[in-house]
Amino acid sequence: MKIEKNQITFLKALNAKWSGKVVEENENELTLEGEDEESYVKFYTPFRGVAKLLLFEGDRWVDAETSAALSSFDLSSLGLDALPDAKDSAKGASKDDAPIIHTS
């Protein structure tokens, strides 16, 4: 994840919900621009619900827990980098690479 001024860029493979202006989007990443106090990014894990909540306050992205400004944030501290979907997307894997499961 990369944070520069009022923009935040993260992997689309991460389970996230957000509010803000989408500035750039490609196959793997999304860049969001904080517009006002309503802008946020919530990162989820299947194990712990909301893993991290980032808010846009006073023209900067802050950690909702500590209100500390973020210049960057290491998602590995939350274990989000270990999720298979995030690794596959970062390597450019497609859904076609997934195993086929047959049910009867």
Tokens describing residue 79: 């274990």
Tell me the residue type at 59.
D
What pLDDT score was predicted for residue 78?
65
Measured CA to CA in angstroms, residue 81 lies from 1, 30, 56, 60, 102 at distances of: 10, 16, 23, 24, 29
Per-residue pLDDT of the chain (104 residues; tens, 9 = 90+): 889 889 999 999 888 999 999 999 999 999 999 999 999 999 998 776 888 999 999 899 999 988 888 766 666 666 665 544 444 444 443 334 444 444 44
The residue among 7, 10, 11 whose CA lies nearest residue 21 is 7
What pLDDT score was predicted for residue 80?
61
Evaluate whether 17 touches 42 at the Cβ level (below 8 Å). Answer: yes
Domain ranges of the chain: 2-88
